[in-house]
Amino acid sequence: MRILDRYQTSGRVQDRPNARSARARGGGYLASLSGSALGGLLGGVLGAFLGTLFLDVFVENQYRISVIATYVAVAALGFWYGLFLGCWLMLRWKGQTLRRATTGLLALLSAPPIGYFLYILPGRGISWAVLLATVGYALILAPLLSRFLVLQLGHYRSRSP
């Protein structure tokens, strides 16, 4: 028996001896958390810049106060988009498995609090407690929860017949 027959059948590699599982590399929790934090902050800054550019170019001085909500909405949407894009990039850079599932679940889990913040913004103004709760949930809890749920679902799916 040749040594190649063990790993190769009909030209396709089935098991690579150097491939490490997600558990051997770590669960990817830190990569998910750091990527979403960096991406969210960079996306929020980019959204704030685009909102400022919109205010400077398209809005006259007398109407500037009435469109501050648009500025905050653009910054929040940039934060949300940067959140899951940064998570995906960091998981890809670290070579973790199940990156698309983690990123999709992160986008779904972080959208409702950001949407709630944007919903209450025009009526009540900026509530710092809601803003801190939203950012804290989106930056800390949502990436860890999405990674945990995806790894648990992947664990169950790999054991099913």
> From CA 30, how far away is CA 150, in angstroms rounded?
15
> From CA 120, how far away is CA 149, in angstroms rounded?
29
Mean pLDDT of the chain: 78
The string of pLDDT tens digits covering residues 114-125 is 888 778 776 776
For residue 17, what pLDDT is reported? 43
φ/ψ of 12, rounded to 5, equals -110, 135
List of E strands, 2-158: 8-9, 12-13
The string of pLDDT tens digits covering residues 58-105 is 777 766 666 777 778 888 889 999 998 999 999 999 888 888 999 999
Task: Say which range, 7-11, 45-49, 143-147, has the weakest mean pLDDT.
Answer: 7-11
